[in-house]
Structure 1
């Protein structure tokens, strides 16, 4: 059960994604209060702290840990430095809500998970697309038997994206940025873990970056359903579409709209708007993920978005890059963790 407790929140990392979190936190000040923020870039730190009226400001993580007295830390640093930021927070006993991707590699994710268990510190991951995109909504439709048994899933997310800064120098790009959302969503709607995966990636000269801009992935899940997924950051044409084929109907969805088709009907037989989805509610979806962590602390239970759960999502991400690099199919253990 929840309490009326209002938590002191500290932000580690003051980059662009921090604004989404702060917007969501600001709307829920009966539940959380942002009391401190930390970033080594003093200019960015001042800009973010001034705009959101955050009193305590730190350029050093050790000072933040020692003096801020925060009860929960939201980690929004670049994913390439996750461990060096999260380990000191764990050692200080501070619960963590971490921006996605949890880590860039499965090895590092497992190390953090083991460290968190050693110190009994809960960590949750901001897999906010579970509700920002209508994955939760669709999962409920499937549970209501709207399309019968699922036989296949087809998904494409193609558009043009030119990032700036540290992300352009990462070897892992399009799937670390967006694929981690979609891998997590496939797990959710299928209520199953992966069995095998094969992937091809490409880096387009149309986008200034080191890593992949395009990917084609096929995943066989343990329930027998195959997911075909296409990602592109280099397409002049933008399209996002999720198609879930069932034995008695097909669901077609994007960020906002969900339609149900049945054999013989040219038009949808039912349509829905996801009440939790869309760009306007993105900050709300991030806060809801944080609140899952807070509820798990209060109820002394694992959150559904825990770092332990996220090992399966990071396993899919790792598998995709291994498959592309080594030109082979990759397999998973029965628990959904990537085989060694």
Structure 2
């Protein structure tokens, strides 16, 4: 029998706690062996779903105690680099929630450090690549059955956001997902980003100008537009329409029970990402655990992908002020081929 992978989760907030529950209750071949969280109350609450797990306040202490075989990083993005460095230096497999780091400069430092190892050790948590509908769409693109892919249209809608949600977060916290999954679907990286502003929603809090339309050009000529709307009210919706030479394909449409009542027809939509991408999160973690057992360590987006997303986000933030912003990147290193 394969030894159960001892996973240390860094960060016991909402995302970390969710992963702790997922690994201990819905993932085979792994268990939570350590919770790394400086907040004692959070650590204690998370430990209720991880019997037997050791508690640490620093990743370095968990490594020194030989308490982990692999690390899942679920702290906010600005704290990723200080956790990634000791984990890489210890040669541990890593699943790092998005973003890899908050900017391209620090992402490049991580990429350069990782290349001192024998193979990629970091998988970045862009879970949409594990969503069944996205996978089916990618297979359609790759098959050529509908001809060449010409355009992609994306919708990313949230019911509402709080006062702490800033203008740049439209890019760095939301469109960040499209900056990963769109190139993966189309097989080509982002080379420019532009942002257009329609009429501003009266429901947006002061200081927030939205919705926005994000226009991306890919290296292979595919044109992409993404509606980013964070005050749509009715629910949570992430959908994509692909325009091919010989037809269309759509994913992310409401599904489930259809109801007719009082002269109306309706289908319940998702209220947040936890239901829309529940399967994707489960598949992502299981695929990562399987990859670690197999020795490949990475089964999804790698650190170079995370670096490219950081470049796209920086271009997107600049584009909020106007203009078409190029996304310049060096060729992908052979290490990440």
- Asked whether the two chains share a fold, i.e. TM above 0.5, the reply is yes
Q: Is contact 2:99–2:306 with CA below 8 Å preserved after alignment? A: no
- Are 1:155 and 2:151 an aligned pair? no
Deviations 1:57-95 (A, max 9, x none): 112333222114211110000101111222222223322
DSSP-derived class of the 2:232 partner: strand
Unaligned 5+ runs, structure 2: 256-274
Instruction: Map 1:243-322 to 2 at 5 A.
Output: 243-254=241-252, 278-291=276-289, 293-294=291-292, 298-299=295-296, 303-322=299-318
CA distance in 1, matches of 2:127, 2:158: 20
DSSP-derived class of the 1:9 partner: strand
Aligned counterpart, 1:273: none
Aligned counterpart, 1:267: none
CA distance in 1, matches of 2:125, 2:222: 26
Aligned counterpart, 2:91: 93
Measured on the aligned residues, the alpha-carbon RMSD in Å equals 3.1
CA distance in 1, matches of 2:27, 2:250: 37
Alignment counterpart, residue 222 of structure 2, candidates 222, 225, 235: 225
CA distance in 2, matches of 1:53, 1:213: 44
Aligned counterpart, 2:188: 192
Q: Is contact 1:37–1:56 with CA below 8 Å preserved after alignment? A: yes
CA distance in 1, matches of 2:206, 2:94: 30
Alignment counterpart, residue 234 of structure 1, candidates 218, 226, 231: 231
Q: Which moved more, 1:60-69 or 1:315-324?
A: 60-69
Aligned counterpart, 1:111: 109
Aligned counterpart, 1:63: 61
Question: In the TM superposition, what is the alpha-carbon distance from 1:242 to its structure 2 partner?
Answer: 1.2
Instruction: Map 1:327-338 to 2 at 5 A.
Output: 327-333=323-329, 335=331
Aligned counterpart, 2:29: 31
CA distance in 2, matches of 1:210, 1:95: 41
Structure 1 residues 283 and 252: CA distance shift in structure 2, 3 A: closer
Question: In the TM superposition, what is the alpha-carbon distance from 1:30 to its structure 2 partner?
Answer: 4.2
Question: In the TM superposition, what is the alpha-carbon distance from 1:326 to its structure 2 partner?
Answer: 6.0
The count of residues paired between Structure 1 and Structure 2 equals: 311
Unaligned 5+ runs, structure 1: 258-276
Q: Which moved more, 1:242-251 or 1:322-331?
A: 322-331
Instruction: Map 1:132-151 to 2 at 5 A.
Output: 132=131, 134-151=133-150
* TM-score using structure 2 length: 0.80
Aligned counterpart, 2:51: 53
Aligned counterpart, 2:130: 131
CA distance in 2, matches of 1:85, 1:192: 30
CA distance in 2, matches of 1:282, 1:47: 25
Aligned counterpart, 2:11: 13
